[in-house]
Structures are given as C-alpha cells and as structure tokens.
Amino acid sequence: MSEAVSFKGNKDGIVLLLDLSVEFESLCQMIVQKLWESRNFLGDHTSLIINSGAIALNDGQRLALKVLLQSLGHEVKYFLPEVPVEGTQKAAEQKISEPKVPDNKVYEPKVSAPKVSAPKTVVPEIPVQTEAEVSSISELADIEHYLTKSALAVRKNIRSGQKISYDGTLIIFGDVNAGAELEAAGHILVLGALRGVAHAGCKGDKKAVIYANQLRSVQLRIADLIARAPDGENTKRNIPEIARIIDNYLVIEEV
C-alpha cells in the first residue's frame, strides 16, 4: 500500500502527493509528520507543489494547507489539479506517470517508522523566542513537542486549566478540552477537537486563522475580535472548520 502523503520531484520542484481517499484531517496530520521527518531533506523554506490526484481540493482545504505549510516554514507553490473540471485529465496523466519515475521519487530514510515520536528537545535556533515563551515551553517539559522555524507543535491533549502560549504558530496534535487555553501570535491549528478557548494573532495579526478538525469552542479570538458560540445551540459537527477575519468579522467556514 502506498502512503497517503508522499514526495515526488518534477520539473518545477518538489511535489507533495496527497491521497484524498484519506480523510482530510488525517491527511493534515500525515503531512505535518512527513514534513517533519523530511526536514533535513527539505531544508528551510521550500516551495511545494500540492497534487491531490483526481480530486481538486476545495478553497477551504487549500487555505488550511497553505496555513499548515506556512506554519511549518514552507509555502505552497501551486495546487494540482487547479480546478475540479480539469482535474480528472491531469490526475489520469499523473497516475500513469507516477510509477514510471521511481528514481524521481525522493523518500526520506525513515519511511517505515510507524509512530515517529517527535524529539523532546527544543531546537536551539528559533528566531522568534521571547522570555515568556521559554517559560511556557519549560512548563511543557513532559510534553512531546517540537519547534520548527515558526511553529510550535505539541503532541498531546491539552486539558482543562492548561494554557499554551507561543510567539508563532501553534499546532496541536490532539484535543484541546474545554477549560484549556491556546494563545498564539500566529495561526492555531488543532488536529483534533477544539473545545477550549483559542486566541490566534494575539499580538494583533488579523490574518491569523484558527483551524480545527472539530471546532467546538465556546469562544474564539483572532487579533482583537472575539466570537462566541450561539447560546443554547449544541450542534456537534464532525467537519473540519476554519475561522478567520473577513471584513472585520470573525467568520467560521467549513473546510
């Protein structure tokens, strides 16, 4: 069985091949893991082409992936297929060509490792690190986490009464339970259920977004805007959603 997330090289650069038969939320997690595992091979700030095969990604998914890659220090060069209609043809081409060029495929060495636990050590060279931030990380001494150039990724459920602040983008692999708080100067991505309060762009960045596989917060904050869940409504939706500021309104959209 081939992996749901893999790399391939083409004339434009490195292509990140995604298998959309896998749930989008799981895909996001795999992408982060893959990129982390291949950090030596990818280097700093690489432009990646994202190829989702036969099915084109929708706008929300594209936004989520852009944020995801950005937060890991990379960027999206362009998406393939570009629009859903052209999708089928291009995907077909790609599917045929893929097995023919195995030598173009660049896999990082640790492909078979099933659960790669992120190193507990903090990467020393972090450009944006303040005093407060260091303390928030040392509180997490027992938590598996790692830092990229601009993101702190935490592999743990964040429970009631726990707070994580970070001066960049925050990625949580796990649930953020009610009563927990997240605060990030950049984006916040929760690859699990977000039930606690999240504050993205806490230093005023209105472009910051909050993404969660299950967005169930009672309150969200981006920059200086605060949105709360409607009273009495208790819908449990299991779809990934993304919150961002559009025209000075905090808008939550399906991904």
In this chain, which of 74, 195, 221, 244 binds another protein, going by CB under 8 A?
195
- Does 177 engage in binding with another protein (CB under 8 A)? yes
210-229 footprint of another protein as x/- string (CB under 8 A)? --------------------
Interacting span for another protein (CB under 8 A) from 20-28, 31-39, 157-165, 227-235? 157-165
- Does 183 engage in binding with another protein (CB under 8 A)? no
Cβ closest to another protein, residue 40 vs residue 234: 234
- Does 160 engage in binding with another protein (CB under 8 A)? yes
Cβ closest to another protein, residue 57 vs residue 172: 172
In this chain, which of 13, 43, 109, 161 binds another protein, going by CB under 8 A?
161
- Does 162 engage in binding with another protein (CB under 8 A)? yes
122-151 footprint of another protein as x/- string (CB under 8 A)? --------------------x---------
Interacting span for another protein (CB under 8 A) from 23-31, 71-79, 154-162, 221-229? 154-162
Interacting span for another protein (CB under 8 A) from 43-51, 75-83, 100-108, 156-164? 156-164
- Cβ neighbors of 201 (< 8 A, separation 6 or more) are 184, 185, 186, 187, 207, 208, 222, 223
Q: Closest approach of Cβ 161 to another protein, in Å?
A: 4
Query: CB under 8 Å, gap of 24 or more: what pairs does 224-228 form?
Result: 225/249, 225/250, 226/250, 227/252
The C-alpha atoms of residue 163 and residue 9 are separated, in whole angstroms, by: 41
Tally of CB atoms within 10 A around 92 = 12
Cβ closest to another protein, residue 21 vs residue 219: 219
Single-letter code of the amino acid located at 99? P
Contact residues toward another protein (CB under 8 A) are: 142, 157-162, 174-175, 177-179, 193, 195
